Amino acid sequence: MTNNIWSRYIQGAKTLYFSRKLRFDDMFKESWKRAFDLEEGKRLKILEIGCGPGALAGALHRWYPMGEIIAVDRDEELIRFAREYEKGVEFVVGDALALPFPEGSFDAVISNTVCEHIEPKGFYGEQLRVLKKGGVCLVLSSRKGIDGTKYKELTEYEEKFWGKVEKYDDSIKKFGVGKYSAGESEMPVIMERHGFGNVSTDFVTVALTPDDPKFSSEFAFNIINADRYSALERLDSVSRSFGERFLDGEIETVKGIVNERFDERIGKYEKGERVWDTNVLVVMVVRGGKV
């Protein structure tokens, strides 16, 4: 069964794609490749599960040029977006609990912030099934980082708006978002419990600070605008979910405030006025093998 629930009501394609393009930029590739610990000299066949709009799959295509990268997601809109934005990857519509591939098809399977939302027995069982003997399972899960983005401070109008949203928004409960979240000490145990051996863990941190001189102006703008896309697409989700709860023009007014805020932040950057807002992402990588 396919659907567009995630892209319509939880996180839009731009929200996921542009934030993950930052996370999986080539400047951070050595940290990721160290944690993945895949044999680069082999013609690896790699499957990404729950690929969303394709940013990680695209990075895998660049980082393992001898490999064959296939990526699957049940959300058709995210797959459509991925096919448009990332070339060299085969994107497939399919369910993580019923992967459309034969047993023993892949050298490695990888997922990014997916395990939190899927029942572990089916999630790991399907990966074990499609892996070759000796194949590698990589599970990436976001941990608590640092959000020091000062330009996100809300106006009084927005505070009242989001307070109203909170009263009606049941999307997390309704769609099971984060239902199977696990702590750092639990995740490797869960992987072992579901059939994987030689389990290990690692952590990758990615610090995104627009004013850091090591980032080009283009990359700095991308950091700021990734947050803009997230804020605007969240408002689109509100409109689709329960827009009738708001007065005419109310959501558009909030969108205008959001755009003004991000335009102001970009303006400060262009004038050389440093804000030093930062976002530090911490991702846990759990690695196991099919023995």
Q: What is the pLDDT of residue 2?
A: 54
Residue 268 burial by Cβ neighbours in a 10 Å radius (0-12, 13-18, 19+): middle
* Pick from 73, 71, 80, 74: nearest CA to 45: 71
Judged against a pLDDT cut of 60, whether residue 13 lies above it is answered with: yes
Q: What is the pLDDT of residue 148?
A: 86
Domain count, the chain: 1
pLDDT digits (tens, 9 = 90+) for 263-286: 999 999 999 999 999 999 999 999
- 153 to each of 59, 90, 102, 158, 262, how far by Cα in Å? 32, 40, 49, 10, 11
Q: Residue range 110-127: average pLDDT?
A: 97
% residues pLDDT > 90 (the chain): 91
Q: Residue range 34-46: average pLDDT?
A: 94
pLDDT digits (tens, 9 = 90+) for 126-158: 999 999 999 999 999 999 999 987 777 899 999
pLDDT digits (tens, 9 = 90+) for 70-90: 999 999 999 999 999 999 999
Query: Strands, E, within the chain: which ranges?
Result: 45-49, 68-73, 90-93, 106-112, 131-148, 197-208, 278-289
Q: What is the pLDDT of residue 107?
A: 98
Q: What is the pLDDT of residue 163?
A: 95
Assign residue 168 the CATH number of its domain: 3.40.50.150
Mean pLDDT across the chain: 95
135 in helix, strand or coil?
A: strand
* Pick from 78, 60, 84: nearest CA to 6: 78
- 291 contacts 198 by C-beta, under 8 angstroms: yes
- Which residues span the domain enclosing 13? 5-289
> Per the structure block, which two tokens stand in for 169?
């928004």
Q: Residue range 10-22: average pLDDT?
A: 97
pLDDT digits (tens, 9 = 90+) for 181-216: 999 999 999 999 999 999 999 999 999 999 999 999
- 225 contacts 262 by C-beta, under 8 angstroms: yes
% residues pLDDT > 70 (the chain): 99
Q: Distance between CA atoms of 235 and 15, rounded to whole angstroms?
A: 12
> pLDDT confidence of 165, banded at 50, 70, 90?
very high
Q: Distance between CA atoms of 136 and 146, rounded to whole angstroms?
A: 30
Q: What is the pLDDT of residue 184?
A: 98
* Pick from 16, 17, 13, 22: nearest CA to 218: 22
